[in-house]
Structure 1
Amino acid sequence: MPQSAAPGKVMKRRKAEIIEAAAECFMERGYHATTVDDVAARLGATKGRVYHHYATKTDLFFDVHREGMQRLFNAQEEAKAVEGNARDRLIAMLHAHAVAMLEHHTYETVVAQGVQVHRFDQVTPDQRQTMQELISSRDEFETLFKTVLSDAIAEGSVPPVDVSVAVKVMLGGLQWSIFWYRPKKGETPGQRSELASRMVAPLVAGFGTA
């Protein structure tokens, strides 16, 4: 059993390495300027290694985007279960999102590039389907925040606001960190958490005290 499982683990690890290298290239150069040769060079391998797993650069970009979104969803698991009222959960979720944006800066920069870079590109039917799935994933992520903000308004811990607009503004404000934040050598998780708190504070200040 272990022997038969080993090849699968190796394959998974190699694919993860390709995704990591691609994320770095897409972040630095953007989707259109990045080539499969760039990704292969970052890996120190031939482009045949990349093509072994991905038929096109677009398919690779989609997997980087998918991984970035999964990391954002993963970051919300504990925050959604925070004890307290809905306002407390909202603040915890915003903080978790801010931390994830900082910790996964490379991937989230690619997510921010978004599937819109392909809206006017020639894509296959399968790729178009994947585009729709990624768009749905982003909508689902927004819904997490819309739900808890609606709950907070219903319980009276947050004043009435346009939920859809408010969530887009809050998430957009945190997402903007991809333009001004750069990971620092030796930066600790505690320092990132403290920065995340400062990012979230002005977003919830308008809600007043609970």
Structure 2
Amino acid sequence: MARGTLREAPRSDKNGNAELLQAAAECFMEQGFHATSIDDVARRLGATKGRVYHYYRSKTDLFFDVHREGMRRNFEAVRPVVRGPDKGGVRLRAMFLRHALSMMENLAFETVVVQGVHMHRLAATTPEQRRVLNELMTIRNDFEALFKSVAYEGVEDGSIKAPDVSIAIKAALGALNWICIWYRPRTGETEDDRLILAEKIVDTIMHGLAAEAE
């Protein structure tokens, strides 16, 4: 589906309860899915666990909604630069840059997205959970397809040279998604600091794709 119609991750903060999702994302990032309890989330939120259960039947349902919100933020970050008058290589670099920054700025949510991928691979879930995970993986695949679509345009207009666009994009997104594993904000870090780091990462990726020099 590299060039097809793409779905977007829906906004998943039920009734606007963004604080709950943020608290849950931080707990899942720090402790992992299995070690995190509803009590942990409630303590982080500064509320009773009854507030959590008011919105979610289980920890798994909460985890899935955090995953959805992470993907929604990914789409929101790259959407403004997908289309435009620039060549495919220029737009692809802009997409990579925005995704890298989103990984840093939404670190807790994007860590949960990566955890969700691992959960899907392990398949240690109930049939209903498996159904939801498959839906989440479809959203993830649609996000990847955005990059493939622009990369194909770059190949056609000569701004990108990639023998296999699908493999190139998977490798590039793999490198960007891995940011959530090694990156942690430093004391006093600024937006400019994150931008400089993101540009270094993306320039390395684009060099590998042999894009034309600006």
Task: Name structure 2 gaps, 5 residues minimum.
Answer: 1-13
Maintained 8 Å contact 1:87/1:149: yes
Match in the other structure for 1:189? 191
Match in the other structure for 1:209? 212
Kindly report the root-mean-square deviation, in angstroms, between the aligned alpha carbons of the 2 structures.
Answer: 1.7
Maintained 8 Å contact 1:101/1:175: yes
Q: Which structure has the bigger radius of gyration?
A: 1
The one-letter amino acid of 1:88's match is V
Maintained 8 Å contact 2:100/2:176: yes
Maintained 8 Å contact 2:42/2:49: yes
Instruction: Return the offset for 1:115.
Output: 4.3
Match in the other structure for 1:132? 134
- Residues 107-128 of structure 1: per-residue CA shift (max 9 Å, x gap): 1111111244255334253x33
Match in the other structure for 2:4? none
Match in the other structure for 2:162? 160
Q: Percent identity?
A: 49
Give me the TM-score of the superposition, normalised by structure 2. Answer: 0.86
Helix, strand or coil at the partner of 2:196: helix
- Residues 40-64 of structure 1: per-residue CA shift (max 9 Å, x gap): 1111222111111100100000000
Helix, strand or coil at the partner of 1:196: helix
- Residues 52-82 of structure 1: per-residue CA shift (max 9 Å, x gap): 1100100000000000000000001222135
Return the structure number with greater relative CO, CA threshold 8 A, min gap 6.
2
Between structures 1 and 2, the one with greater helix share = 1
Task: Name structure 1 gaps, 5 residues minimum.
Answer: 1-10
Match in the other structure for 2:22? 20
Give me the TM-score of the superposition, normalised by structure 1. Answer: 0.88
Is 1:90 the counterpart of 2:92 in the alignment?
A: yes
Q: Distance in 1 between matches of 2:44 and 2:92?
A: 39
Maintained 8 Å contact 2:162/2:168: no
Helix, strand or coil at the partner of 1:114: helix
Structure 1 residue runs of 4 or more that deviate by more than 4 Å after TM superposition: none
Helix, strand or coil at the partner of 2:186: coil
Q: Distance in 2 between matches of 1:49 and 1:115?
A: 28
Match in the other structure for 1:54? 56
Maintained 8 Å contact 2:78/2:98: yes
Q: Distance in 2 between matches of 1:46 and 1:208?
A: 53
